[in-house]
């Protein structure tokens, strides 16, 4: 697992597990640009920062 300044980068599989979605769902979201979930593309590899995933989850909170 890669790290940048202490912020872990997760694979699509790891990010899907973190969010409790499937890898396919994340792929569709990336392709369609839906749900505004940030990701990083390094060559052909896709990575998600744990901070971005946590921030996205917090935005989903309905009060």
Closest CA to 45 of 1, 59, 35, 4: 1
pTM of the model: 0.85
- Tens-digit pLDDT profile for the chain (63 aa)? 555 555 889 999 999 999 999 999 999 999 999 899 999 999 999 999 999 999 999 999 898
Exposed/middle/buried for residue 26 (C-beta within 10 Å: 0-12, 13-18, 19+):
buried
Can you tell me the distance from the alpha carbon of 50 to that of 44, in angstroms, rounded to the nearest whole number? 20
């Amino acid at each position: 697992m890669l790290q940048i300044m202490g912020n872990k980068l997760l694979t699509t599989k790891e990010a899907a597990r973190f969010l409790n979605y499937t890898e396919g769902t994340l792929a569709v979201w990336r392709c369609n640009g839906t749900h505004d979930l940030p990701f990083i593309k390094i060559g052909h590899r896709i990575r998600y920062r744990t901070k971005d995933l946590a921030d996205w989850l917090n935005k989903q909170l309905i009060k």
